[in-house]
């Protein structure tokens, strides 16, 4: 009996769920899961997760005291909510969960390090070991430097919002555990910039991830590549063999419903045989390559602003919910 595409993909690649929805994870049973403020915001508004949200907010209020502003409680509440969802996710997935550092800290190395340590401390308090958590940090030069320090401390990092080879090389040389190149967002930029559509191996996002994967395998970097942000299953099938792919429930459903042959497209052996020039990476080279790459410049800025806006939205929702709970408790 022919296998569906999802079953075949799992034989080449670790499948990660790109969702904060616990029910979707229970259905697809991915190896790992990743979240961000947008996903947590969506999940936090579902009625079945309201008890988690309420519990986190009341605990944050208790910790900060009655004099703390609703905004301060909401900020701590977001951090605690990310851990609460992470804990629930880790009860389902056998592998790791990625928990994101506040995107508003993306250009602040010291603040990123401090919040990453806080995230790990909170997981430690819940009895969850470091091997099961990836701290998600934006792939700015400052974020990569923070990740370098954290990795030396045994805190594993997932470098997100990665669009250019310069970001990937800097991250690998910093010894990070994982990078997440954003396939669909790269495609979006090129479609908008050129007015053309792209398919299959010609998809610029697919090309970008393929380049990063081959570079890492050619030069023996231990950093793993996790393709992210997919627009269609064609992008996913073109990256079969990538170390990991993080996929939305909608596209997981589509892969599961599709029967056909899925050949492996990426492999370390093929990459090793390629002729690839090694690039020495320092801040000057990073800045020059970033400035020369309009797509990476635009999408990194847009991504940080988007995640920051999602966080503001989540904190606003949490502050509103806190006010409702406090009124209810007074009555």
Q: Phi then psi for 33, rounded to 5 degrees?
A: -145, 150
- 102 DSSP assignment: P
Helix (H, G, I), strand (E, B) or coil at 281: coil
46 with 319: CB under 8 angstroms?
no
pLDDT at 131: 96
- 226 DSSP assignment: E
Catalytic residue status for 218: no
pLDDT at 20: 74
Could you read off the pLDDT tens digit of each residue along the chain, which spans 331 residues? 679 999 999 999 999 988 877 888 888 888 998 777 777 788 788 888 889 889 999 999 999 998 999 889 998 888 888 898 899 889 999 999 999 999 999 999 999 999 999 999 999 999 999 999 999 999 999 999 999 999 999 999 999 999 999 999 999 999 999 999 999 999 999 999 999 999 999 999 999 999 999 999 999 999 999 999 999 999 999 999 999 999 999 999 999 999 999 999 999 999 999 999 999 999 999 999 999 999 999 999 999 999 999 899 989 989 998 999 988 888 7
pLDDT at 100: 93
Residue 236 neighbours by CB distance under 10 Å: 26
Strand partners, 245: 15, 227
Largest CA distance in the chain: 71
CA separation for the pair 40, 136 (Å, rounded) = 14
Q: Which two tokens stand for residue 293?
A: 């790459």
Of 173, 132, 177, 133, residue with least CA distance to 159: 177
Which one of the listed residues 88, 136, 217, 265 is annotated catalytic? 136
pLDDT at 94: 94
Instruction: Name the residue ranges covered by the structural domains of the chain.
Output: 5-326
Tens of pLDDT along 213-268? 999 999 999 999 999 999 999 999 999 999 999 999 999 999 999 999 999 999 99
15-40: burial string, b at 16+ Cβ within 10 Å, e else:
bbbbbbbbebbeebebebbbbbbbbb
241 with 267: CB under 8 angstroms?
yes
298 with 189: CB under 8 angstroms?
yes
Query: What superfamily in CATH does domain 5-326 come from?
Result: Aldolase class I (3.20.20.70)
Q: Does the CA dihedral 29-102-119-316 come out positive or negative?
A: negative
pLDDT at 1: 67
N residues, the chain: 331
pLDDT at 78: 87
Q: How big, in percent rounded to 5, are the helix, strand and coil portions of the chain? A: 60, 10, 25
């Amino acid at each position: 009996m022919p296998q569906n595409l999802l079953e075949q993909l799992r034989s080449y690649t670790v499948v990660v769920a790109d969702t904060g929805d616990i029910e979707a994870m229970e259905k697809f049973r991915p190896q790992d899961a990743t979240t961000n403020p947008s996903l947590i915001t969506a999940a936090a508004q579902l009625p079945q997760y309201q008890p988690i949200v309420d519990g986190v907010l009341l605990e944050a209020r208790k910790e900060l005291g009655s004099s703390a502003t609703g905004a301060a409680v909401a900020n701590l509440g977001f951090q605690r909510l990310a851990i609460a969802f992470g804990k629930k996710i880790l009860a389902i997935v056998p592998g790791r969960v990625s928990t994101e550092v506040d995107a508003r800290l993306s250009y602040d190395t010291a603040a990123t390090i401090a919040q990453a340590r806080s995230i790990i401390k909170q997981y430690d308090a819940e009895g969850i070991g470091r091997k099961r958590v990836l701290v998600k940090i934006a792939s700015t030069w400052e974020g990569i430097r923070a990740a370098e320090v954290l990795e030396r401390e045994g805190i594993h990092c997932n470098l997100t919002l990665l669009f250019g080879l310069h970001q990937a090389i800097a991250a690998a040389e910093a010894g990070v555990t994982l990078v997440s190149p954003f396939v669909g967002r790269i495609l979006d930029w090129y479609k908008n910039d050129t007015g053309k559509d792209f398919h299959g191996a010609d998809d610029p996002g697919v090309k970008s991830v393929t380049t990063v994967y081959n570079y890492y395998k050619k030069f023996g970097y231990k950093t793993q590549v996790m393709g992210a942000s997919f627009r269609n299953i064609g992008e996913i099938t073109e990256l079969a063999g990538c170390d990991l792919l993080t996929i939305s429930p909608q596209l997981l459903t589509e892969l599961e419903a599709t029967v056909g042959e899925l050949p492996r497209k990426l492999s370390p052996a093929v990459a090793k045989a390629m002729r690839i020039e090694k690039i020495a990476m320092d801040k000057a080279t990073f800045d020059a390559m970033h400035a020369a790459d309009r797509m990476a410049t635009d999408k990194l800025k847009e991504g940080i602003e988007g995640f920051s806006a999602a966080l503001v939205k989540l904190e606003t929702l949490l502050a509103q919910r806190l006010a409702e709970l406090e009124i209810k408790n007074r009555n």
